[in-house]
């Protein structure tokens, strides 16, 4: 079994230094005594007496001859290297260091799996004019590197006695990181033991520990027999959630937000997910969840949530700019607990070149099945094609966010009044709606793989003039498909830095089915174009043509996009930037027989910022024959 490296003791270090220090200490004491005599001059000792010169000649030069990887290991970690600058090193001490150096070199080589090396250490007088009086040369022939011949993994503890533990044992054994045939090194051995322990601790056995481990090395055959034993400890199950630090917010509401699976077997991933749900709820500034294994039985172990509550009121001002709508100002007020209701109210005012809006949304705490009641209202003035549209929207219903899926059921009232030459008449509608969204991205803020799918379905009736029924549906899809890796460094080197290139695909379609003369509100119609839809065209500049040739929202819409994203390497280093080339196409119409797609092509840059991807695109609108710059921050689906 590899030995630990020897560490010089304080006594040996003092032995090296005691000879030159004794005369210096004696002289210092004598000088100090003389200074106490009457009339003795009070002078400071010269600086040279208290510190050796900075340019003192080294004791010896160290030369290491070994294969490249091992030479660097020895040069940086040999104990002998520490004494090269000790200019007053005595020959007898150097001889002792050279004897100890062989054992030190063997220990270092053993960490890399070399247990039968040939080591030659020589000390000789350096040639005239050399910087150091002596040269110490360490020559190493490492011999064969040890491989793993066998690996036995054992388990003890109460958890290992359970009937269902056999499957967990099989998983740990299958995922063992240092199986027979692998090269043995000390770091690989340590990592394998740690990973095996983590496999136990991350589910059911949080108090598992390493009970015993042994690596028997046979230098003659260069083979290692590994034996490790884990003590599983008892199997734990989630007990009740206990909040600490809460004052103003409902602790039972926190339990429903966390959705900790009480009664289920312990899972580190479930614990972290519950912690993240509480932290992102807006009710707490900091959240830290721990399983209280020291108190409570393993079959119902309490989970302690140490929280720091957010303020009851929060006011946020924002400013920004986009190529779609120019400069933007916003003010957002949050009340985390409305009087009597206990709901959260979020009120927001926003102003930019294209849209001015005021909206408020009230949301309840979730119930035990994660359903929330909500109500929302919005007053907005926005540019839609060739018209300015004033609209009012009221919405109320229930929603659920559970795992990767969002669901919504709600009633909605819409009223829209267009302004402009030959503007359509005012219109209103009442509809019942269902929404369903699935997100399976590896990161919802900055995805590089995965997909999302969204469905909306509404059934309603118009309210102005005569009442006409209508059906509105919309489908969205986004996918990121890996397209190989961009690597920096040797392809065979495990330390090479790699990052995926990818193909980003996006599609969207919608339809409003109603009589031709039905006055469907503009907020229920479709219009597209801009940074997030069809690049190369203005914001919401792709719509349906009216009888007077102006643009307005249409009843049918289709958008598709394909984009190739590739990491950028500069001077052999991968950066946080990516290049992109893309093609977008989209169309809006009232008549499927006369649909005409608008196409945009271009290229851009992506920067992976802390708040999501920053996109800069230069796009050419094929039909408009115009070049446009598009900027976008963040990702939403």
Cα dihedral 457, 462, 468, 469, rounded to 10, equals 20
pLDDT(44) > 70 = no
How many whole angstroms separate alpha carbon 12 and alpha carbon 96? 11
Mean pLDDT for the stretch of residues 448-462: 96
Rounded to an integer, the average pLDDT of 25-40 is: 34
Domain boundaries, the chain: 61-141, 147-231, 237-296, 346-635
Domains 61-141 and 147-231 share a fold: yes
3-state secondary structure of 373: strand
Predicted confidence (pLDDT) at residue 200 exceeds the cutoff of 90: yes
Is 37's pLDDT higher than 50?
no
Closest to 172 in 3D by CA, of 157, 190, 188, 160: 160
Q: How far is the C-alpha of 570 from the C-alpha of 632, rounded, in Å?
A: 24
Best-predicted range by mean pLDDT (14-23, 178-187, 378-387, 427-436): 427-436
pTM value? 0.74
**Widest distance between CA atoms in the chain:** 121
pLDDT band, very low/low/confident/very high, at 412 (cuts 50, 70, 90): very high
The string of pLDDT tens digits covering residues 235-246 is: 999 999 999 998
Mean pLDDT of 111-121: 89
Burial tier of 120 (Cβ tally within 10 Å: 0-12, 13-18, 19+):
exposed
Which residues make beta-bridge pairs with 388? 383, 419
Question: Which H/E stretch holds residue 432?
Answer: strand 427-441
Q: With cut-offs at 50, 70 and 90, classify the pLDDT of residue 56.
A: low
Whole-number mean pLDDT of the chain?
Answer: 86
pLDDT (average), residues 282-311:
94
Give the mean pLDDT of 500-520. Answer: 94
DSSP 421: T
DSSP state of 442: S
How far is Cα 100 from Cα 106, in angstroms, rounded to an integer? Answer: 10
Q: What is the DSSP string of 163-231?
A: TTHHHHHHHHHHT-SS-TTSBP-HHHHHHHHHHHHHHHHTBT-TT-EEEEEEEEEETTTTEEEEEEEEE
Long-range contacts at 593-600 (CB < 8 A, ≥ 24 apart): 595/556, 595/558, 597/558, 598/529, 598/534, 598/536, 598/537, 598/542, 598/622, 598/623, 598/624, 599/536, 599/623, 600/534, 600/535, 600/536, 600/537
Q: What is the per-residue pLDDT for 8?
A: 35
Distance, in Å, from the CA atom of 589 to the CA atom of 604, rounded to the nearest integer, reads 29
Taking the C-alpha atoms of residue 204 and residue 169, their distance in angstroms, rounded to an integer, is 13
Containing 419, the helix (H) or strand (E) segment is strand 405-419
Is it the case that residue 24 has pLDDT exceeding 50?
Answer: no
449-456: average pLDDT? 97
Domain 346-635 = CATH 2.40.50.100: no
What CATH homologous superfamily does 61-141 map to? membrane protein fhac (3.10.20.310)
Residue with the bigger pLDDT between 13 and 470: it is 470
How far from 635 is each of 186, 541, 630, 632, CA to CA, in Å? 44, 22, 15, 9
In whole angstroms, what is the distance from residue 512 CA to residue 521 CA? 11
Apex 234 CA angle, 232 and 237, nearest 5: 120
Quick one: fold of 147-231? Ubiquitin-like (UB roll) (3.10.20)
Please report the DSSP string for 284-339 in residue order. Answer: EEEEEEEE-TTSS-GGGEEEEEEEEEPPSEEEEEEEEEETTTEEEEEEEEEESS-T
Tell me if 477 sits within 8 A of 440, measured CB to CB.
Answer: no
Distance CA 544, CA 384 (A): 11
Helix (H) or strand (E) holding 69: helix 68-77
């Amino acid at each position: 079994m590899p030995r630990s490296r020897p560490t010089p003791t304080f006594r040996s270090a003092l032995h090296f230094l005691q000879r030159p220090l004794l005369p210096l200490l004696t002289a210092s004491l004598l000088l100090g005594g003389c200074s106490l005599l009457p009339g003795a001059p009070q002078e400071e000792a010269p600086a040279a007496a208290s510190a050796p010169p900075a340019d003192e000649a080294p004791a010896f030069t160290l030369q290491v001859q070994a294969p490249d990887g091992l030479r660097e290991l020895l040069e940086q970690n040999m104990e002998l290297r520490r004494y090269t600058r000790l200019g007053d090193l005595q020959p007898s001490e150097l001889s002792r260091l050279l004897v100890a150096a062989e054992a030190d070199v063997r220990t270092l080589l053993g960490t890399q799996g070399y247990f039968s090396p040939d080591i030659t250490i020589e000390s000789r007088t350096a040639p005239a004019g050399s910087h150091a009086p002596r040269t110490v040369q360490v020559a190493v022939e490492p011999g064969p590197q040890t491989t793993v011949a066998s690996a036995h993994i054992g388990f003890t503890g109460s958890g290992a006695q359970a009937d269902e533990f056999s499957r967990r044992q099989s998983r740990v054994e299958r995922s063992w990181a240092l199986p027979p045939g692998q090269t043995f090194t000390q770091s690989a051995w340590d990592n394998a033991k740690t990973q095996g322990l983590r496999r136990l601790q991350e589910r059911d056995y949080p108090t598992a520990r390493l009970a015993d481990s042994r690596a028997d090395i046979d230098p003659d055959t260069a083979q290692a027999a590994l034996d490790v034993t884990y003590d599983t400890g008892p199997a734990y199950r989630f007990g009740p959630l206990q909040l600490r630090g809460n004052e103003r917010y409902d602790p039972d509401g926190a339990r429903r937000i966390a959705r900790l699976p009480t009664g289920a077997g312990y899972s580190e991933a479930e614990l972290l997910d519950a912690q993240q749900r509480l932290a992102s709820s807006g009710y707490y500034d900091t959240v830290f969840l721990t399983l209280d294994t020291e108190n409570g039985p393993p079959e119902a172990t309490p989970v302690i949530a140490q929280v720091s509550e957010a303020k009851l009121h929060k006011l946020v001002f924002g400013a920004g700019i986009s190529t779609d709508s120019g400069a933007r100002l916003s003010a957002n007020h949050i009340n985390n607990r409305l009087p009597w209701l206990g709901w959260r109210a979020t009120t927001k005012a926003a102003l930019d070149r294209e849209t001015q809006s005021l909206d408020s949304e009230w949301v309840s705490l979730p119930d035990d099945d994660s359903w929330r009641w909500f109500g929302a209202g919005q007053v907005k003035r926005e540019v839609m094609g060739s018209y300015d549209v004033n609209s009012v929207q009221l919405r109320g219903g229930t929603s659920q966010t559970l795992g990767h899926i969002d669901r919504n059921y709600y009633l909605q009232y819409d009223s829209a009044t267009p302004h402009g030459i030959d503007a359509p008449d005012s219109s209103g509608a009442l509809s019942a709606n269902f929404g369903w969204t699935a997100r399976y991205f590896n990161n919802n803020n900055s995805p590089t793989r995965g997909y999302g799918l969204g469905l909306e379905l509404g059934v309603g009736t118009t309210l102005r003039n005569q009442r006409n029924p209508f059906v509105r549906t919309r489908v969205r899809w986004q996918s990121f498909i890996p397209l190989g890796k961009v690597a920096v460094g040797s392809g065979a080197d495990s330390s090479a830095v790699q990052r995926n290139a990818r193909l980003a695909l996006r599609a969207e379609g919608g339809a409003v089915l109603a009589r031709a003369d039905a006055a469907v509100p503009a907020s229920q119609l479709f219009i597209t174009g801009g940074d997030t839809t069809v690049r190369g065209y203005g914001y919401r500049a792709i719509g349906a043509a009216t009888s007077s040739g102006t643009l307005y929202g249409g009843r049918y819409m289709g958008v598709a996009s394909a984009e190739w994203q590739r990491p950028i390497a500069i001077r052999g280093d991968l950066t946080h930037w990516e290049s992109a080339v893309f093609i977008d196409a989209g169309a809006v119409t009232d008549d499927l027989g006369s649909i005409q797609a608008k196409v945009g092509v271009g290229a851009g840059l992506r920067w992976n910022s802390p708040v999501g991807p920053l996109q800069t695109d230069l796009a050419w609108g094929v039909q408009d024959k115009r070049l446009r710059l598009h900027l976008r921050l963040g990702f939403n689906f």
